[in-house]
Amino acid sequence: MISMFRRNILRWYSTGRRTYPWRETTDPYRILIAEMMLQRTKADQVVNVYDEFFTTFNSPDAVIKCSDGRIESMLKPLGLRWRAKNFKKASQALLHTFGGRVPDTREELKTLPGVGDYVAGMVLSTAFCKCEWAVDSNVVRVFRRYFGIPTSREGRRDAHVTEMARIYSSSRNPGRANLAIVDFTGIVCLPRKPLCNSCGLRRRCNYFMNLDDKESKGKAVSTKSSINTVRGCIDYD
């Protein structure tokens, strides 16, 4: 079921995808900075700041040499002034710990300030074409709706959701697969008032087939129940 879901969502992505400058590069540093900016921020808001950032800072060394105030001012439109120090500390780590390169493992990436599992997964899949999962609230929502799986309140931390995301990203182009979910959940499978009637995945979507039922899958469930439900969705292709 997961492979079919991936094929369908990639089919939608081929015509429905959004275009942003960080998607037109394979430079790991640019992708890392973009993903750090995108945390809790809409992509359309990031475009101008992203362009300005790399007009000013074309390397980790340039960031280190800049004042905290300049970086804070640049990130202010994103509401990220308080995270400005993370950008500088991450650049310092890249330069002094990793020799100026962006590391290509989840464990190493997560040692950088401001980088968690989601950012690490997106960087690894889009910049390094590694089959790495990336789970945020949007991924949880589309998995819960489409497959009808139970999730806890902190669904992105559920082991069965991570396992499904890992299998989903195991494709020839994992970066494209992960970006497809980003766009699909931002355009079609919205948190409120999803566009179900115009969704090409609706015929196999559990949520659409049960629209008359109240959506109660967000409640905490036992691990045993979660695993048993998910086993029916997993196909190792």
pLDDT digits (tens, 9 = 90+) for 128-144: 999 999 999 999 999 99
pLDDT digits (tens, 9 = 90+) for 198-225: 999 999 999 999 986 544 333 333 334 3
- pLDDT band for position 110 (50/70/90)? very high
Q: Which of 63, 34, 69, 67 is nearest to 50 (CA)?
A: 34
Average confidence (pLDDT) over 41-64: 94
Query: Would the pLDDT of 89 be above 80?
Result: yes
Handedness of CA 171, 176, 180, 186 (dihedral sign): positive
Q: What angle do CA 161, 165, 39 make, to 5 degrees?
A: 90
User: What average pLDDT does the structure give for the chain?
Assistant: 89
pLDDT at 216: 38
Query: Would the pLDDT of 29 be above 90?
Result: yes
Spatial separation of the C-alpha atoms in residues 18 and 13, rounded to whole Å: 9
pTM: 0.88
pLDDT at 214: 46
- pLDDT band for position 107 (50/70/90)? very high
Spatial separation of the C-alpha atoms in residues 237 and 224, rounded to whole Å: 24
pLDDT digits (tens, 9 = 90+) for 178-193: 999 999 999 999 999 9
pLDDT at 205: 97
Query: Would the pLDDT of 95 be above 90?
Result: yes
**CB-CB contact of 62 with 95 (8 Å):** no
pLDDT at 54: 95
pLDDT at 232: 45
- Cβ atoms within 10 A of the Cβ of 184, count? 23
Average confidence (pLDDT) over 39-49: 93
pLDDT digits (tens, 9 = 90+) for 73-85: 999 999 877 788 8
Do 2-16+133-231 and 21-115 share a fold?
no
pLDDT at 38: 95
Q: What angle do CA 237, 196, 165 make, to 5 degrees?
A: 30
**Which residues, in sequence order, are CB contacts of 138 under 8 Å at separation 6+?**
181, 182, 185, 186, 189
Spatial separation of the C-alpha atoms in residues 225 and 117, rounded to whole Å: 25
User: Hey, where are the domains in the chain?
Assistant: 2-16+133-231, 21-115
Domain 21-115 has CATH 1.10.340.30: yes
Spatial separation of the C-alpha atoms in residues 120 and 223, rounded to whole Å: 26
Q: Specify the CATH number of the domain 2-16+133-231.
A: 1.10.1670.10
